[in-house]
Structure formats: C-alpha cells, structure tokens
Amino acid sequence: MNLKPIIIVPGQPKSIFFEIFFKSLRKQKINSPILIICCKKIFEHNAKKFKHNGTYKHFALNSKINKFTQKSIYLLNVGHYKNKNKKIQSNYDNAYVFNCFNMAFKMLKKKISYKFLNGPINKKKVLNNKHLGLTEYISKNFNERNTGMLIYNKKLSVSPLTTHLPIKLIPKTISKKIIINKLRIIDKFYKQIFKFKPKIGVTGLNPHCESILETNEDDKIISPAIKLAKKNKILVKGPFAADTIFLQQNRKKFDVILGMYHDQVLTPIKTLYEYDAINITMGLPFLRVSPDHGPNEKMINKDLSNPQSLIRALEFLDKS
C-alpha cells in the first residue's frame, strides 16, 4: 500500500505550533506518515525543547523515497538561519514562510499527497494585506475560485460567506450569486467527503433579519437566494436571526450554518466547542485543514496551549 503523507507547513518560526504538535503526537496515535516542511534547525530545536524522542527521515523533492512508512516523520529542510550566529531571523520572514508553502504546493501538484495541514500565521504581518487570509492565498495558488471556509465539528459546522472583510464592506459584497455558489460548495463538499447531503441554515445580515432602511438585504438578496438554492435541491432554510439560530433547539436542526460574515458564526462556534473544531478549505483539489486558532505569540514558552484543534485536524487527515 502506497501511503500518502500528511504534508505540514508549521507557519511562522515563533508560534505555539510545535508545542501543540508534539503534544498531539503524545496524546493521539497518527498512522499516516507526516512530512514536515520547515527549517531543520527550528524543528530540531523544538523537538528537543518539547522532549520529542522520535527520529525523523530527510526528504527532498528529488528524493528516491517512493513509499512512505506508517507513523514515520519526514523532514524537508527549508533554510531560515543566519550563517554566523545561528539565530532565527525575523518571525515574520515572508520569504521563509512562502518558501515552505511553495514547497508544499509543488508536492501537492505532483500528487505526492492530497493531505495538507498548515500552522497558523499572523495574517497582517506575513501576508501584508495582499490576501484576506490563507484560504484565499492557497486558493489563488491553485487557480480555484469556488472555495470556502468551513469551521468543522461533527455536531455542527459553520461557514462564513465573507471571511476577513471589514464590516463596512460586507453589505456591498453580499449577492444572490455568491450565496448560491457558497451553498453549492458546502453541499458538494459534504457529499464528496462525508457522503451525505447536509442540512444548511442561513443567517440574515441585519438584526432580527429586519432593517429600518429601505434596502433590506435579508428580503432582497438572502431570501431569494435561498429559494433558488432549494429549487436546486439543496437542503437549506432561512434566513434566521443570528442571535437565535445557535440556541440548542435551533442549531440541532442543521449540519452547517452559513453566516454572512466571519464573527457572526465563528464567535458562537468557538463558544460552543472551543478548540474542538478545525478549519477546512472546501473546493480545493486536495484536503487542506488548519487548527482553528492563531499563532498565539503571547503563549509562547508557557507550555499551556491546548492541542485539541490540531489533534482533530490530524485525525481528520489520518482517516481521509
């Protein structure tokens, strides 16, 4: 059996990723091979720091390795250290982070694997506002426009129609076409990956789906989009007021809740499940997941970070 490795890009050099990564390996057995793309010295430093006793094997794009073995860790070295004093360069070294991602993209395009996991980054400092987020950055590199963010939990998942847009831009962005397209992406992803048609609830944009203005997006855009999606045999209902759809008796009716903007649905899902959720990008030609949290630089060196989201991400890819 030719095993496909989980390709991992840890992200920026200083974050909580390696802390939760090595915690995850101690807490959860992962059968898939793991292929990490990062600086060898950064990996070795953190392996020692977090008392990882396992060994790893070197890997290169032109490597003669054609079969990966279970429960093994492979490392593709991407340099990041200075030659003289061996100190880590800037934590927001864009060139280093993008080199790691580009190596991963090459491997995914070569079909070395279809499983990809990345650690969190500081979007503002690393992406320099050139992309709304990693979902958009990765999608662009694969020329995929019909993608979407899914914050996944077995009991309930959420998907924001818009991701990291400023609030004032959201009403200008929402359209029937975008809503219908996102509903199709969710429906298709669930049928392909989870083998069932999801029940989808849609929030309104305005408080209580009402507006004191003449233009009410809930009536003129969201409701017609839902009606059209129903005609396309998508199991969808709404729009619902965002302040009540997450009540227990309401949320249990759905597999996914599509919200109009990021915090409208990510705030309640994180309140409900905290770290027990993962970030999946739907619509890519491979599975891309990420733990559902940021680099959390304030927690570095405290050894207090919860690995639950990364455990769930590794489990998801391991079983896929």
Mean pLDDT score of the chain = 91
Domain 146-283 sits in CATH at 3.40.718.10
Instruction: Determine if the peptide bond prior to 239 is cis (ω within 30°).
Output: yes
pLDDT computed for residue 194 by the predictor: 97
Residue ranges in 94-209 assigned as alpha helix (H):
94-109, 123-126, 134-141, 170-173, 176-189
Q: Which CATH superfamily is domain 1-144+285-320 in?
A: Isopropylmalate Dehydrogenase (3.40.718.10)
Strand partners, 9: 118
**pLDDT at 83 exceeding the cut of 50:** no
The pTM for the full model equals 0.92
What are the domain boundaries of the chain?
1-144+285-320, 146-283
pLDDT computed for residue 64 by the predictor: 67
Q: What is the arithmetic mean of pLDDT over 221-227?
A: 98
Residue bearing the bigger pLDDT, 216 or 90? 216
pLDDT tens-digit map of 252-275: 999 999 999 999 999 999 999 999
pLDDT computed for residue 127 by the predictor: 73
CATH fold match for the domains 1-144+285-320 and 146-283: yes
The candidate with the shortest Cα–Cα distance to 308, out of 16, 45, 13, 5, is: 16
pLDDT tens-digit map of 94-111: 788 889 999 999 999 999
From residue 198, alpha-carbon distances to 190, 223, 225 in Å are: 6, 19, 17
